[in-house]
Amino acid sequence: MGRLFGTDGVRGVANTELTGEMAFQLGRAGAYVLTKETKHAPRILVGMDTRISGDMLEAALVAGICSVGAHAVLAGIVPTPAVAYLVRKYRLDAGVVISASHNPVEYNGIKFFNSQGYKLSDDLEDEIENIILSHPEILPSPTGASIGTHTVAEDALDDYIAFLGSTTKEKFDGIKVALDCANGASYKAAPITLLNLGAKLCIIHNEPDGTNINERCGSTHMEDLKAFVKENKADIGFAFDGDADRCLAVDENGELIDGDKILAICGLDMKEKGTLKNDTIVGTVMSNLGLTMMGREKGISIEQAGVGDRYVLERMIEAERNLGGEQSGHIIFLDHNTTGDGILTAIQLLSVMKRTGKKASELAKAMEVMPQVLVNARVNNAKKNTYMEVPAIRHAIAKLEEEFSADGRVLIRTSGTEPLIRVMIEGKDMERMEKAAKELAAFIEKTLQ
């Protein structure tokens, strides 16, 4: 698999790339690195999404955790942000989520949280990886009564739902909400939470069978939700991804409200209430120019972090910000949780609607979206991180950057989880941008096979 950790944990095709053996090794090394400073037998929370491979990987991961003398606490199927929250609530030593987020069912992943509910730094991931690849002999192998055990956290989902309900003072009576649960980890938590808060619901893609997670549904396939909102005359719709750490919305007319617009809506509301720290929102280099323009007009600074919610979070902690996120719908409300939380995002957006009495489409006018084109080049995975070492590619990118320097911008980046190089162009002329992005992506694809 090359380097084990990507931008969001370890990912791969389950049972060929991300094998049971790898999960066992990650359980051993992760438990050791994250808990070696504790003076007690450590306890580690384990949650997962609805993928069929989850049971296999959970068994192997838990075996690894127990083999170094740590104890596993099984939360079952819960959203990723539930693990981030419950690690703190239960005062556990670490958390692990078995999920490949928005990826298709054949993929799975393993990502860790520390005792404070934060994703790991690059340094800690490197330490885990180094042990697995080079120094497995340093891991303890206790015997007898020192071997770890596992227990089940029976109230995990209920405790997470209670937490979500506590993040707003509003009741959503009179608001009709459409949900697309992506046949994933939000399939219980999202409906129960919003029903508890008084919303009227209509729901699709809420019957996971282990194989249909993210299948033409959820936050990466918004078409069904757009049509569903209009058919059911809903006031707003929300789509989550497989592990529910991201959320996108659809207004009452079926128009997309992406992560940048959600940041604009919630950021403006927080600024008006005086709760937006330093009047600053943390976005990424992929954030639409319209977000920056909104910020200039409304007196809100927009900072750019690297792509990936962990990098947004690092910037938020370092600079004392409490709102940040990505266009893809990873939104972090740091006053409430330590990672992107899709259901929490839906609650905060509904709270703005309820408090202001405005329709979703009216709130979405908070920022004007500048046209943006994103084209993926599918390349040899072993070559994707060295594309700038190829002179012809470097020259083609420089030429494109010069072409759009006056009225737009060009951003090229690799996917942390898939064999893709993403070509993004932002500007005013959609036809020109699409042509240029497709040409560059095709050239990169051909060159890096």
For the chain, what is the radius of gyration of the CA atoms?
A: 22
Q: At what angle do helices 156-165 and 80-89 cross, to 10 degrees?
A: 90
**How far is residue 271 from each of residues 132, 207, 295, 347, measured CA to CA in Å?**
46, 39, 11, 18
Which amino acid does the sequence have at 62?
A: V
For residue 167, give both structure tokens: 């993040």
Sign of the CA dihedral with 348 first, then 85, 245, and 186 last: negative
What burial class does residue 17 get, using C-beta atoms within 10 Å of its C-beta: 0-12 exposed, 13-18 middle, 19+ buried? middle
Is the Cβ–Cβ distance between 171 and 152 less than 8 Å?
Answer: no
Residue 284 belongs to what H/E stretch? strand 280-284
Q: Which of 53, 101, 186, 287 is catalytic?
A: 101
Sign of the CA dihedral with 57 first, then 60, 9, and 444 last: negative
Residue 101 is a catalytic residue: yes
Is the Cβ–Cβ distance between 389 and 431 less than 8 Å?
Answer: no
Backbone angles phi, psi at 326, to 5 degrees: -125, 160
Give catalytic residues, as residue numbers: 101
